[in-house]
Structure 1
Amino acid sequence: MTNALLNDSRKQELLSKTVQHIDIKSFDARPIIDQMANMSFTSRDLARATSIYNQMLADPDCSIFLVIAGSTSAGGCMDLYAELLRSNMIDGVVATGASIVDMDFFEGLGFKHYQALEIPDDNTLRSLYIDRIYDTYIDEEQLQACDHTIYEIANSLDPKGYSSRAFIREMGKYLSQHGKKDNSLVKLAYEHDVPIFCPAFVDSSAGFGLVKHQVDRAKEGKPYMMLDAIADFRELTEIKIKAGTTGLLMIGGGVPKNFIQDTVVCAEILGHEDVEMHKYAVQITVADVRDGACSSSTLKEAASWGKVDTALEQMVFAEAGSVMPLLASDAYHRGHWRTRQKRAWGKLFA
């Protein structure tokens, strides 16, 4: 047997078990959360965080932002986030480019993430064109196809500046026409006018396709499309100003967390002295506070910057993939979303 056939066989063996995304509708976490409220440590923190999220959903004036950093989408929470959007449990998304492109858009094109049943030497994985996220695999050849799709979308647009929201909307439009998965956050966001922002968008698989778009257009002497990070900040701040009362459901932290929090300060600088701090805030993270960061400060610390009110905030120090399903299932089954007004903030920029 040739080396090529051996490699194909080995790759097929390693990519044999797909990640199955959790369905929060298939189980009712309310009894678990109710009992956790009477426990201590992280269990009680999670119960309080879930209560705060339910208060966001029950507050008729509250617009809710889902904030995602890290790899929970690849790890099995992808359909969870899509269900939050489909059920009108979030009104906007701020995320890393990887969460939106390498994970959600990637699966929207029909590709999959795979469970690593074994983890051989990473140089072996490289030789087989398999990328690893801890114990999860991605087929690099499929990821390159995703890059090329981003390139094609960029080529189809007028050569001007776009916020990440505007470009991701084009990605959702593409999936609506050509996608292979109904339960895609990017696709559903397009269909429900829920804006998605990625403040560091090119730090993802999209970056390769967009760089190729600009280089190829420049070689041809043609203008090219660009991403406008300032427009991102301006548009998100416009939503914050018009929304008034806001709540944050944050998985991880870093740039997406700081970006959404900074809208309060930006609104004040623009002369909106009466802008409210984010009234509700939940953060699920394993980041540490000892280095002075905690993936962009604890929520109480953010209050000193005028970003988050401390009355209804909760840090949950846990791996998000193990606790988000409980929080989301509890909130889904309590049903406050059934009577929520649909915001459709994306129409603000139509």
Structure 2
Amino acid sequence: MRLPTFTQNPTRPVEIKDRSVSDLMDAMQYTGFQGRKLAESVKAWENMLKDENVTIFMGLSGAMVPAGMRKVITYLIENRLIDCLVSTGANIFHDCHEALGLKHYVGSHMANDEELFEHGVDRIYDVFAYEEEFRNTDHFIADFAKRHDGEQYSSREFIRLLGKEISERGDSQSIIASAYKHNVPIFIPALCDSSIGIGLTIARRFGCNVNIDQIKDVDEITQMVELSEKTGVIYVGGGVPKNFIQQTEVVASIMGHEVAGHEYAIQYTADVPHWGGLSGCTFDEAVSWGKIAKEAKKVQVFADATIALPIVTQALYEKTKDQVRKTPSFNWEEGQANIYFETL
């Protein structure tokens, strides 16, 4: 005997025809496995953008900028499909590198690494770059830091200043320049674990000391959550950026604020839950910590982000390009965040 409550919604084979990416994503909602999850993530993100008073946080890990995702992230910032970016330092370093006119190159994962080393070429799987050019970018950051000798900043404050510098150089494709122009805060909670940290170390060795206050980072991003009526999260990979955003709910709760967890949650990851690591852990597990709301609209896509992110963003472009969104923006005065809304 059939159980009708289980069989109300038949799968629908995908048709191959002349259509947009967003239309394909709509069709894939009736397929299975990670194809359906990819389509569901587009729908969840679209609904998040339609929901009023939602602050959207993105966590960015993995070598996304060297892998060609730079303009995708820039689009998300410029069109306010996200309201805050938490990134590894490496992605922002590589963004600065390209902003200075330097390149990453199509390579091969089959290359001879000893030969690459002899020619001063670094390999990121199948992407190449020149070590000497990376060091030039290290020194650019060091020279920038020297102009701020003796100052203390959160990573958000420091990256905003660096974004202003890049913006004034005229690079419109830079993640940090776009974030500066559109008032989207960028946090790097493990800034020292990157070539930005190397640049700051170079500056310190030459007598310049710029102190990055990472505890101030925790306070600033938690204030954003405390001021937001609702929050949504999107994770590209996992790692430090994911946990840094997740823990805001715990910190806010400890500080006496009524929070119920992030209300929307999307993740694109190649990691899996059964190793016990954060990058692959499910959003259901996060509910036990109070980091994700019990009723949250949550979708995890187990896929390579360099495949998923361009497809999802293209679909969102088609679905939201004419949409008007009231975006939350933040400023900080004397250590205290304020929220205001703009229509985009």
Q: What's the TM-score once normalised by structure 1's chain length?
A: 0.86
Q: Distance in 1 between matches of 2:116 and 2:34?
A: 36
Which residue of structure 2 aligns with residue 68 of structure 1? Answer: 60
Is 1:84 the counterpart of 2:76 in the alignment? yes
Mapping 1:1-350, distance limit 5 Å:
28-101=20-93, 103-117=94-108, 119-179=110-170, 181-217=171-207, 224-272=209-257, 274-295=258-279, 297-310=281-294, 311-335=296-320, 338-346=323-331
Q: Note closer, same or farther for the CA distance 1:154–1:230 as it changes in structure 2 (3 Å cut).
A: same
CA distance in structure 2 between the partners assigned to 1:28 and 1:97 by the alignment:
35
Partner of 1:152: helix, strand, or coil?
A: helix
Q: Verify the 8 A CA contact 2:243 2:278 in the aligned structure 1.
A: no
1:250 shift after superposition: 0.8
Structure 1: runs of 5 or more not aligned: 1-26, 218-222
Q: Give the paired residue count.
A: 316
Identity %: 36
Larger relative helix fraction: 1
Q: Aligned to 1:110, what secondary structure does the other structure show?
A: coil
User: Secondary structure, in 3 states, of the residue corresponding to 1:71?
Assistant: coil
Quote how far apart the aligned CAs of 1:151 are.
0.3
Which whole-Å CA distance do the structure 1 matches of 2:96 and 2:328 have between them? 23
Distance 1:106 1:298, change over 3 A: same
Q: Which portions of structure 1, spanning 4 or more consecutive aligned residues, are displaced by more than 2 angstroms?
A: 117-120, 342-350
- Tell me the TM-score normalized by structure 2: 0.88
Return closer, same or farther for 1:248/1:44 CA change in 2, 3 Å cut-off.
same
Does the Cα contact within 8 Å between 1:89 and 1:337 map onto a contact in 2?
no
Distance 1:84 1:346, change over 3 A: farther
Q: 1:337 to 1:268 in 2, by over 3 A?
A: farther
Q: Specify the SS of the correspondent of 1:60.
A: coil
Contact 1:249 1:282 (8 Å CA) reproduced: yes
Q: Aligned pair in 2 of structure 1 residues 188, 50: CA closer, same or farther (>3 Å)?
A: same
Change over 3 Å in CA distance of 1:197–1:335 after alignment to 2: same
Which structure shows the bigger proportion of residues in strand conformation?
2
